[in-house]
Amino acid sequence: MSLGLVGATIRRDLTLAARNPGEWLNPLMFFLMVAALFPLAVDPDPKFLSKIAGGVIWVAALLATLLSLDALYKADVEDGSLEQWLASGESLYAMSLGKALVHWCISGLPLTLMAPLLGLMLSLPADAYQALIFSLLVGTPVLSLLGAVGAALTAGVRSGGLLLSLLILPLYIPVLIFAASAVYHAGIGMDYKGQIGFLGALLALAACLTPFASAAALKLNLSR
């Protein structure tokens, strides 16, 4: 019955997200605001903006993801759900993977869907839209998977938000570099398959390995 609890948890978490939209809409609003304020504060010239648009969108997406990570395991630790998972004897690997998937559905996926709008606001070159969508589609799951490890490690810590950022931000750097470079290169008419390929490799690696780390961190959290 391994799928029983994992499937039920994914369904439950999505139901919870649907009932409390504030939790996942906040980071999305943040994402939108950063992009809206940038031209006002720096330079509204479309030529200048089109050069930095890809980078700005990716930095904003990364920070918005960080914002939403803190809550990933916190509620489950506080209300005892996590204890019940551990008590169920089901695979924590599958559970962590499921949690990361839910996180991506309520954070990475809406960010990806919103990104073209931000591209428009920041006059992203027309050639770069495809690269932006692809890079977000492949890159944001990596952010969710890596972030889930940090969230699992800091779930038992009061106000662990800062600690979480410090732990996870360095791991996000490679994703940021390759993704922003993909969008930039697409914008100047160059090939960007290599960068997307690298992001894909990161995703494969993260999907296989990070759930082990999350599972170990969660166990640590509970065996007090």
Partner 1 sequence: MPASSGQTTIDLEARQLFCERDDRVLFDHLDLRVRNGDLLQLAGPNGAGKTTLLRLLSGLNRDFDGELLWHGEALYDDYSGYASLRLYQGHLAAVKKALTPLENLSWLVSQWSVAEDDLWQALDAVELGGYEETPCQQLSAGQQRRVALARLCVAPAPLWILDEPFTALDKYGVTWLEQQLQKKVESGGAVIITSHHALENIASLQQLELGSVRA
The residues of the shown chain that bind partner 1, judged by CB under 8 A, are 1, 4-5, 7-9, 12, 15-16, 19-20, 75, 78-81, 83-84, 86-90, 222-224
Shortest Cβ 77–partner 1 spacing (Å):
9
- State the DSSP H helix or E strand holding residue 214, giving kind and residue range, or none if neither: helix 193-222
- Give the span between the Cα atoms of 30 and 122, in whole angstroms: 16
Shortest Cβ 5–partner 1 spacing (Å):
5
Shortest Cβ 175–partner 1 spacing (Å):
32
- Considering only CA atoms, which of 85, 99, 83 is closest in space to residue 10? 99
Nearer to partner 1, 193 or 219 (CB): 219
2, 94 in Cβ contact below 8 A? yes
Nearer to partner 1, 83 or 191 (CB): 83
Shortest Cβ 80–partner 1 spacing (Å):
3
Nearer to partner 1, 74 or 185 (CB): 74
Shortest Cβ 75–partner 1 spacing (Å):
8
Task: Kindly report the backbone phi and psi dihedral angles of residue 191, in degrees, each rounded to the nearest multiple of 5, phi listed first.
Answer: -75, 140
The one-letter amino acid at 101:
L
Nearer to partner 1, 79 or 191 (CB): 79
- Give the span between the Cα atoms of 39 and 55, in whole angstroms: 13
Reduced to 3 DSSP states, what percent helix, strand and coil does the chain have, rounded to the nearest 5?
A: 85, 0, 15
- Give the span between the Cα atoms of 89 and 20, in whole angstroms: 29
- Give the span between the Cα atoms of 149 and 100, in whole angstroms: 9
Nearer to partner 1, 84 or 130 (CB): 84
- Cβ burial of 78 (10 Å; 0-12, 13-18, 19+) is exposed
Nearer to partner 1, 45 or 83 (CB): 83
Shortest Cβ 96–partner 1 spacing (Å):
16
